[in-house]
Amino acid sequence: MTYAFSWPLQQALYAALGDQPTIAAEADGGVHDAPPHADALGPDPAPFLLIGEETVEAWGDADMAGAAHVLTISVISGEAGFGRLKRIAGAVCDAALGPLILSRGRVALARFLGARTRLIARAGLRRIDLRFRFAIEQDG
């Protein structure tokens, strides 16, 4: 087991999300690994993606060793309604579950675990948190 696949996984996800046409067209606020400062968002923030929380556990068997990463990708916006966010969330699933090219390791398994959609009234935001599990094994 190693945590060494975490950064290559994040880089691959960032690239895949940025290359996905629906995300490029709809998520005007971009893809981030830290929430943008509130001042930068403005009063009604355009949709943006946040590659967020991650937990990592040992994964494998006697013949292979790797790590299982459970990772959250959030779609956040200050716009009214969830329609646009749901279109973007669908595109996030397509990108995250598609082929990912890692600089180290190989994705042996990619799974969608679930989602949570919520209104954060006090902040005037809508948010969809998508959870994925990636099992990564050492290549070669």
Question: pLDDT tens digits, residue range 9-19?
Answer: 999 999 999 99
Total domains in the fold of the chain = 1
- Residue 33 falls within a domain, yes or no? yes
Q: Tell me the C-alpha distance between 46 and 28, whole Å.
A: 6
Nearest Cα to Cα of residue 132 among 82, 88, 94: 94
- Taking all residues of the chain, what is their mean pLDDT, rounded to a whole number? 91
Backbone dihedral angles phi then psi of residue 112, each to the nearest 5 degrees: -85, 125
Q: What angle do CA 30, 36, 38 make, to 5 degrees?
A: 130
pTM: 0.92
- Residue 108 falls within a domain, yes or no? yes
- Residue 1 falls within a domain, yes or no? no
User: Average of pLDDT values for 105-119?
Assistant: 97
Looking at residue 127, its pLDDT comes to 96
Q: Are 100 and 13 in contact (CB under 8 A)?
A: yes
Residue 122's CATH number: 3.30.2000.30
- Residue 79 falls within a domain, yes or no? yes
Answer yes or no: is pLDDT of 98 > 80: yes
Q: Are 135 and 97 in contact (CB under 8 A)?
A: no
- Structural domain containing residue 111: 6-137
Answer yes or no: is pLDDT of 41 > 70: no
- Four-residue CA torsion sign, 97, 102, 107, 112: negative
Q: Tell me the C-alpha distance between 112 and 53, whole Å.
A: 15
- Residue 41 falls within a domain, yes or no? yes
Q: Tell me the C-alpha distance between 19 and 21, whole Å.
A: 6
